[in-house]
């Protein structure tokens, strides 16, 4: 029963993402968390504060103003004090007048229902090529990542 509740909560969070309501996601972070987007790109790096997460989400939606996320698979495991969630997604958007699609996975650890840790893995080469193509119109596509000082994961 607990895993079904977590799965519904996760699905609701991604409905919020499709509505570009990233505040609903930030509200689910534990007081101490670590979010890493793997890859040496403008979205890459690690964040540990709500402020940097808000800036990261704002950048994400500037790069993908019509982004939609299709949840293809989700798996939940573990007890309430260390619940693990894995999701497989497809991102679709129109960028620079052309369709863009990328697949990514997200791994999350929840502690009593709050996000303590998550990492995102995507086809970073596809994303980097997109950033190079759109940089003349959107210079932020090649901006340095939004990152915080490293902290121990504690997860």
> What's 2-140's CATH class?
alpha beta
Please report, for the chain, the start and end positions of each structural domain, with discontinuous segments joined by +: 2-140
Do residues 29 and 115 lie in contact, with contact meaning Cβ atoms separated by under 8 Å? yes
Please name the residue that has the structure tokens 């939609």: 68
- What was the pLDDT predicted at 5? 93
Position 151 confidence tier, pLDDT thresholds 50, 70, 90: low
Position 34 confidence tier, pLDDT thresholds 50, 70, 90: very high
Rounded CA separation 153/107 (Å): 14
Do residues 138 and 54 lie in contact, with contact meaning Cβ atoms separated by under 8 Å? no
pLDDT reading at 150 higher than 70: no
Give the tens place of pLDDT for each residue, 117-133: 999 999 999 999 999 99
Do residues 125 and 114 lie in contact, with contact meaning Cβ atoms separated by under 8 Å? no
Give the tens place of pLDDT for each residue, 67-120: 999 999 999 999 999 999 999 999 999 998 999 999 999 999 999 999 999 999
| 147 phi, psi to nearest 5 deg | -135, 160
Within 10 Å of residue 132's Cβ, how many Cβ atoms?
11
Within 10 Å of residue 104's Cβ, how many Cβ atoms?
18
pLDDT reading at 154 higher than 60: no
Number of residues in the chain: 155
- What was the pLDDT predicted at 67? 97
pLDDT reading at 153 higher than 60: no
Within 10 Å of residue 136's Cβ, how many Cβ atoms?
10
Tokens of 47: 């964040």
Rounded CA separation 131/139 (Å): 9
- What was the pLDDT predicted at 155? 53
- What was the pLDDT predicted at 102? 98
Do residues 127 and 120 lie in contact, with contact meaning Cβ atoms separated by under 8 Å? no
């Amino acid at each position: 029963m607990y895993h079904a509740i977590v799965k519904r909560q996760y699905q609701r969070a991604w409905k919020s993402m499709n509505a570009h309501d990233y505040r609903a996601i930030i509200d689910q972070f534990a007081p101490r968390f670590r979010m890493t987007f793997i890859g040496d790109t403008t979205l890459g790096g690690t964040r540990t504060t709500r402020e940097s997460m808000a800036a990261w989400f704002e950048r994400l939606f500037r790069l993908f103003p019509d982004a939609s996320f299709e949840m293809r698979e989700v798996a939940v495991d573990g007890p309430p004090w260390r619940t693990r969630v894995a999701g497989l997604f497809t991102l679709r958007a129109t960028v620079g007048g052309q369709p863009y699609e990328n697949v990514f996975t997200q791994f999350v650890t929840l502690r009593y229902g709050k996000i303590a840790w998550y990492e995102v893995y995507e086809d970073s080469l596809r994303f980097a090529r997109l950033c190079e193509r759109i940089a003349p119109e959107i210079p932020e596509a090649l901006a340095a990542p939004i990152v915080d000082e490293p902290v121990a994961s504690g997860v």
